[in-house]
Structure 1
Amino acid sequence: MDSDSDSADSGGEGTSYGLKKKMKYSQSYKSDWEKEPRFTGWLIKSQKGKNFGFCKACNKDINISSGKDSLIKHTQRKIHEQNVKSIKNQPSMTKFVTDTKRRQRAQDTKEAEIRLAAFVA
């Protein structure tokens, strides 16, 4: 009888009852993350797949299958911080376009006024 109880105890060593195995789910990209202040301006959806985000500042795909934590870790990297800082200091292309249009409009207005004055005189 002692050997029966020993064999029952030894049979349970390989399995652990009471502890459930956690299912791991891979995280997919959520467009709501782009609206968060710490991710705005540089995070977009990657073309690589649904488990990736793309950092416009670093020009890299970020694996987000482990969740938002991987994005937070990416933001804490020195290279990312430097890239974001340099992007903020650069003027946007829209500023150049609007300045050019404004100057052109002012030039056209001057030309029209001169022609009108010459016509009237």
Structure 2
Amino acid sequence: EGTYRSSELRDIPKDYREFVKVDGEVLRIREDIKGRVRFVYANLIEEDSFKPFHGRFSAVLCRNVLIYFDPPSKKTALLNLKNILRRDGVLVLSSTEILPSEYRDIFKPFKEGRFFFYRRSEA
């Protein structure tokens, strides 16, 4: 729906606030922005789920999911996510999910303000 309590987005950088409309204690993603968002349900460890989407996403939000995977499944999921991202694509995880250095061949961390994100690695 693109609706959030203001407390959920209190730490977003000011540059990004132009994308939301304030409605009391609720923030709503602007309609023109929501129209550019695609939500996809897929099996993260099944490559065939992702083939139609290779290279088509600018960003993927995958929060509080990878923590439940064993290391081989996590690596498969990360490779699948890398494949659907554009070359400059960004993976967004939750603040508690830090990718260990063993996955740096797939994603490289970068910091924007106080937030960490991951860019696909070209290695």
- TM-score bracket, normalised by the shorter chain, equals under 0.3
TM-score when scaled to structure 1? 0.23
TM-score when scaled to structure 2? 0.22
State which structure, 1 or 2, has the greater radius of gyration over its C-alpha atoms.
1
By percentage of residues, which structure has more helix? 1
By percentage of residues, which structure has more strand? 2
